[in-house]
Amino acid sequence: MALVTGAGRGIGRATAIRLAREGAKVAINFKGNRSAAGEAKTLVEQAGSTAVLVQGDVAADGQAEEIVKAALAFGDGRLDILVNNAGITRDNLLVRMSAEEWDAVIDLNLRGAFLVTKAAMRPMMRQRSGRIVNVASVAGLTGNAGQANYAAAKAGIIGLTKSVAREMAGRNITCNAVAPGFVPTDLTDPLPQKVKDELMRQIPLGRFGTVEDVAGAIAFLVSEDASYITGQVLVVDGGMVTA
């Protein structure tokens, strides 16, 4: 049984569909867009599995626990896979960035992952197994102008990943991260074309990533083939970051 946060659209939706194809029941978490989440649920069912919609704000006090409880109920008490994907951007140059823009991104992207992971750890510890994958970003490895809040949150995700991996290894729980490069989604659509053109010039493979590319990496990290991998960051970026 898998719980994917922010699964209504983008990488989260693609991950839910891919995990369904691999045989997992999927709890689709969403914050507000029930229509998009419903579409994701239909696609998961078309992929041959079952799904449940779980509405909730991962960064809100108390809601993360309720999200995990709903996923556990759907999974008959088991939670085998957690994918922390929910995230937002509020891009601005640091000199112009408001405290509200900073807090919004840190709260949802980093605090939300912390709260959901914490809620999921006890059931995974009881069953003595689990796979956690956090969606980071190459911005968390290299930084990015105009995204100090986002880069800081994603760097924090990487630190969280490595710490959870060390804490949970003795219970047969792995925790890894994927760090996508530029993947066209609703979050990246507002970028000016000249920015997208410059990004393309930095990608040795000569194309932007797809949500399916990232979902495939996540599917690998939660599979038995990755049972001896923990605390790692798998970069999915077409070669943008090579150091």
Burial of 142 (0-12, 13-18, 19+ CB in 10 A): middle
Q: What are phi and psi of 127, to 5 degrees?
A: -85, -5
Given the residues 74, 102, 150, 182, the one annotated as active site:
150
Separation in Å, CA 108 to CA 6, 50, 130: 10, 27, 23
Comparing CA positions, the residue from 128, 161, 131 lying closest to residue 226 is: 131
- Calpha distance 16→13 (Å, rounded): 5
- Calpha distance 18→184 (Å, rounded): 18
- The answer to whether the CB of 168 falls within 8 A of the CB of 226 is no
Q: Which residues pair with 180 in a beta bridge?
A: 236
Amino acid (1-letter code) at residue 133:
V
Comparing CA positions, the residue from 114, 133, 128 lying closest to residue 173 is: 128
- The answer to whether the CB of 70 falls within 8 A of the CB of 27 is yes
Residue 150 annotated among the catalytic residues of the structure: yes
In 23-159, DSSP assigns E strands to 26-30, 51-55, 81-84, 130-135
- Calpha distance 187→89 (Å, rounded): 7
Give the catalytic positions in this structure.
150
